[in-house]
Structure 1
């Protein structure tokens, strides 16, 4: 803007009237561009109109671009004809300097919620109820497959995942039912047993965490290889914990986290499980019944219709057809980020927001051409769920 004033200086000095100069002097005094002494000096020492105009424009130029922009804006308001004749442009105010984004400080331990925060949420109908008695009856299922019959499929680093998830679940107030190295059938059996756990009647929620190799729609058991399909269908989770098979969990949040590949392509590049790999992946390659006739005529007041599948939210470690990465020493990327985000934000954020922040962590994940993006799946939560850790 100072350059603009320099460009029109001669024409302004020739054209500006004495009255306009005095008005502009009042304007820049009010703006704080000059003080009373500077204004009085220009009026007293410069007797001719041209000298006053010349002193005005030179003084403002020296004050910088912002001062010059304000003078040009005042000139536009005071004398639009001269403003247009000079070919000036006041331009928009310069944007405020952008603050550098603050680096997030991740907590190594779970931050407890406050009593006041919990009390504030108790009467909100948009939030799942979480009485202190039900929080104390929380229970979670943790299944980790580490060692496989085919040793080439062993998941190095999964021990770290198991330890990290058990610590997190315990900190969140869940009694952890833990299983390690299960076949597909054993995973299914453990899910059925979990659906009958006596604490489910009193809990406010459950968590299920399964970590293994996988493919689209299934988690693989420890006997899986090229000759043997040892699988646990992910859909069975929803069947065993749904309204029909597990009425104890009716209207209660069921939080599912699955660390397993869902394919071997798209979004990332397959890597081998060799000892020198910085990251490895968990890929090994790599209809509802119709109501019977007459049901609509039932009149038994003891019966009621409920949603077959409701109050679930699942976080899968990758999008369909793609792999998930695991560090042989530090564990799976998903589990690392889940622990970091929940430790830092579970005291104030609901589960949907927590999962969003986990996904956001993967936006900046990039090692060479490798990419991974977790996805929320089959979310049927009708309210917000808070963990309220530490109560």
Structure 2
């Protein structure tokens, strides 16, 4: 009997999402920057921050918002978080809303690399988050190129309980969802917020409990790529979000169980 089919159809295991708590969500919201950086005020970011706070709370995260922090303050928050006990938590989420450039994100006073803060959550720095998802959502430009888009004639058709010791890469179990592709700008409406964060919140509200996270973010990609087409300077502008995944299992943010009080009637 040929077993090649069954071997190729190996089922991807799922992350354990049955801990007592979902976990922390940190939102670093940047609107105003030091004058020496010569960066514009990010009007509309408060809309993103408020909406993201609401949606992550609905998905059972314990959300904390930080506004216009300097880099050392951001690093301190992340370092403190890495030293906390996350044993009874499913995962952690970090959202950064700011200006950005190639390989850089801006704090209030200077730029930094995402690795400068994300590496604080690796298993050697934060053992209680080992083998747990670490989710980053980054709303920032990644360069100054503008995607003009291209017309196309294509039309779419509508965990094991065994306690086995295993060495895993330190960079495993991270997922980073960027608002745009490397070298390109991302867009933000001064009144309504950014395309990426607002679409992410829409999809999370609709499908947050039902879609595996990579599929959920693929739907975000689909909507941002298809549904936005503003006039930008001399022509049309498009935006393509980018998912970088190092997850090793499927991740589904299923609802946390609610323990009801017994009545005395």
For structure 2, the 5+ residue unaligned runs are: 1-10, 150-164, 258-265
**Given the alignment, which residue of 103, 108, 113 partners 1:222?**
108
2:5 aligned residue: none
Aligned ranges 1:84-163 → 2 under 5 Å: 126-131=13-18, 133-135=20-22, 138-150=23-35, 153-163=40-50
Runs of 4+ that moved beyond 6 A: none
Q: Report the Cα distance in structure 1 between the residues aligned to 2:95 and 2:205, rounded to whole angstroms.
A: 17
1:81 aligned residue: none
| DSSP-derived class of the 1:361 partner | helix
1:208 aligned residue: 94
Are 1:374 and 2:241 counterparts? yes
| DSSP-derived class of the 2:50 partner | helix
Aligned ranges 1:286-365 → 2 under 5 Å: 305-364=167-226, 365=228
Task: Count matched residues.
Answer: 225
| DSSP-derived class of the 1:182 partner | coil
Cα distance, 1:349 vs. partner? 0.5
8 Å contact from structure 1 (residues 196, 246) kept in 2: yes
1:197 aligned residue: 84
Q: Which has the larger radius of gyration?
A: 1
Are 1:385 and 2:265 counterparts? no
More strand by share: 2
| DSSP-derived class of the 1:201 partner | coil
8 Å contact from structure 2 (residues 19, 89) kept in 1: no
| C-alpha distance after superposition, 1:199-243 (max 9, x if no partner) | x121011101011001122210113xxxxxx11211123311112
CA RMSD in angstroms, aligned pairs only: 2.0
8 Å contact from structure 1 (residues 346, 389) kept in 2: no
Question: Which structure has more RCO (C-alpha within 8 Å, separation ≥ 6)?
Answer: 2
The normalised TM-score by structure 2 is 0.79
| DSSP-derived class of the 1:163 partner | helix
Q: Report the Cα distance in structure 2 between the residues aligned to 1:268 and 1:160, rounded to whole angstroms.
A: 26
Cα distance, 1:312 vs. partner? 0.9
Aligned ranges 1:260-275 → 2 under 5 Å: 260-267=140-147
| C-alpha distance after superposition, 1:101-159 (max 9, x if no partner) | xxxxxxxxxxxxxxxxxxxxxxx971111115243xx1111110111223862110111
